[in-house]
Amino acid sequence: MVRALVVEDDLDLARQVADTLRQSRYVVDVVHDGEEARFLGESEPYDVVILDLGLPQLDGLSVLRQWRQTGRTMPVLVLTARDTWREKVTGLRAGADDYLAKPFELEEMLARVEALVRRSSGRAAPALECGPLILDVSSGRLTVAGRPVELTAFEFRTLVHLMRHQDQVVSKTELTEHLYDQQFDRDSNVIEVLINRLRNKLGAEMIRTRRGLGYQLIKPEDDA
């Protein structure tokens, strides 16, 4: 699962960008001014940010600089109506990872976001792999030992996060934060239900419970 923040004061464009991301199974928060963006970017664990430069209250470049100064390293795709090379250089030097001038095609925006997420997680290919599991994040297609397996949206988001952190212990709190957007009534009990469903679909040996700590996705041959 990938959690994204969309920062855009054009309400219609913000909705289009958010809808495109959600259709690709991203969890999306949307804000329309720089001050709220600065706060959320510093306090929430986003995997990627789509940031407009021309924002009310606090401009996008100032927001980006403050994020970087406070140690926030999530990849940021900058959106702007300005398309001069000087604006691009300024944005990149402020800490942007990529640049997209308006107007743009939503498909190109999505492809750039996907590339940023892949690079930030140390991958070049669009698929995640763990033992017999191969999950194409772009298409949402999962195979287990070559067999296609259907996932619900929440199952997909949970598995993506576990696969991005395979062999690491992921706490319930972390999964909950990455599973829900800001408007959702978060309930950690649903994590247990999702983990049990995934075990039924993937094989019980794939997800290990670390009592008091969380869950760990492992390759079957690594289990002891």
Task: Give the 3-state secondary structure of residue 95.
Answer: coil
Task: Kindly give, in sequence order, each residue whose CB lies less than 8 Å from that of residue 25, ignoring residues fewer than 6 positions away.
Answer: 1, 2, 140, 153, 156, 157, 160
Q: Where are the domains of the chain?
A: 2-120, 127-222
* CATH for the stretch 2-120: 3.40.50.2300
Contact 27, 180 (CB under 8 A): yes
Which amino acid is it at 86?
R
Q: How confident is the model at residue 181 (pLDDT cuts 50, 70, 90)?
A: low
Burial tier of 61 (Cβ tally within 10 Å: 0-12, 13-18, 19+)? buried
Q: Which amino acid is at 163?
A: M
Span 142-158, average pLDDT: 89
Measured between alpha carbons, how far is 158 from 142 in angstroms, rounded to an integer?
A: 13
**Percent of the chain residues past pLDDT 70, beyond the cut:** 90
Question: CATH top-level class for 127-222?
Answer: mainly alpha
Q: Which helix (H) or strand (E) holds 210?
A: strand 207-210
* pLDDT tens, residue by residue, 48-100: 999 999 899 999 999 999 999 988 989 999 998 876 777 778 888 888 999 99
E strand residue ranges, 81-168: 98-101, 127-130, 133-136, 141-144, 147-149
- The residue with greater pLDDT, 185 or 31, is 31
**Whole-angstrom Cα distance, residue 53 to residue 63?**
9
pTM: 0.63
Tokens representing 205 are 């040996």
Q: Do residues 110 and 131 lie in contact, with contact meaning Cβ atoms separated by under 8 Å?
A: no
Mean pLDDT of the chain: 86
Residues of the chain by 3-state class (helix, strand, coil), percent to 5: 45, 25, 35
Mean pLDDT of 193-211: 90
CA-based nearest residue to 50, from 85, 87, 102: 102
